[in-house]
Amino acid sequence: MEELLGQHHLHKTTKDYKVAIGENRIIIDSTGSAFSYKRYAGNELKAESMMVSDKEQVVVGIFPNPPILTPKAVAKNVYLKFRSPVIVDQRSQVAVYVKMPIEIGVYRQSIDEEILIDAFSLKRQQYALYGSPESGVVCRYTETEVSTDKDAIKPVKYEEALVKIKIKNDIDNVVKVSRVIIPMDSVVLDHAHDDSWLPGSVEMTLDSAFGKDIVNVRLTSTKVKRSDKTSVAKREDTLVFLMDAGY
């Protein structure tokens, strides 16, 4: 089976190049020195653009994206609610696996940079407020299964990605963790054989200070897009979120 996620090399002789992902049909056609890009959902035209190039070949990348662009870029964090809360002993740590929603991004790529030309999701987006109405954060929301067995979590192709979460409890009490907020701004997901996952891991550290629990969520060994260009750079401890409204 041909992999849909990855780079698609198109030539000036390309006619009616088609990629189908769920109900979305991408059609790319060469017209002289340009390539027309169209995406349909059913019979409805959802996105259209024209790529102009003096080269004989252009590269279009179709990749899994963090779920923060559609229908509008209104959230930079993903709120994962565990269907089964995780009970963690005092002064101990555990690694669990969960699923997170993804979007599909379509990019016009060159040697060291790229530009997003389209983004879509196969599932209806849900949002939730984390924190108080006055100072809370709007997040992309979903409920997920959770397991210590990686093979027990099976993300749906083109809809979900696998996420590893390391929960470290430095508190003197047993804790119940039922949710995590993951920062997702500029994060790049990995893929192979059209399966998707978050590189590295989510480090969730629970501590206390002055009688109050403190929860830091940190992404480690994660790929992020460089701020000056859109190419990828690896960084340690790329993004941090302080869960000050409970876990």
Question: Each residue of 175-216: pLDDT tens digit?
Answer: 999 999 999 998 999 999 999 999 999 999 999 877 788 899
Question: Residue for token digits 């379509």?
Answer: 106
pLDDT in tens, 90-116: 999 999 999 999 999 999 998 778 899
Q: Give φ, ψ of 89 to 5 degrees.
A: -65, 160
Instruction: Round to whole Å and give the CA distance between 200 and 189.
Output: 10
The pLDDT, as a whole number, for residue 226 is: 58
Whether 79 has a pLDDT exceeding 60, the answer reads yes
- pLDDT at position 137: 94
User: What pTM value is reported for the model?
Assistant: 0.91
pLDDT tens-place string over residues 8-63? 999 988 888 999 999 999 999 988 789 999 999 999 999 999 999 888 889 999 99
pLDDT score of 232: 54
DSSP β-ladder status, 127-130 and 187-188: unpaired
Sorted by where each begins, the domain ranges of the chain are 64-242
- How far apart CA 244 and CA 75 sit, in angstroms, is 18
Who's near 41: CB < 8 A, 6+ residues apart? 23, 24, 25, 120
Residues 6+ apart with CB under 8 A from 186: 224, 225, 227
Q: Kind of pairing, strands 160-169 and 175-183?
A: unpaired
Q: What is the pLDDT of residue 29?
A: 93
What Cα–Cα distance (Å) separates residue 155 from each residue in 127, 145, 191?
Answer: 20, 10, 12
User: What order of strands is seen across the sheet that includes strand 114-120?
Assistant: 6-11, 57-65, 103-109, 114-120
Average of per-residue pLDDT across 161-173: 96
CB proximity list for 220: less than 8 A, separation 6 or greater: 200, 201, 203, 236, 237, 238
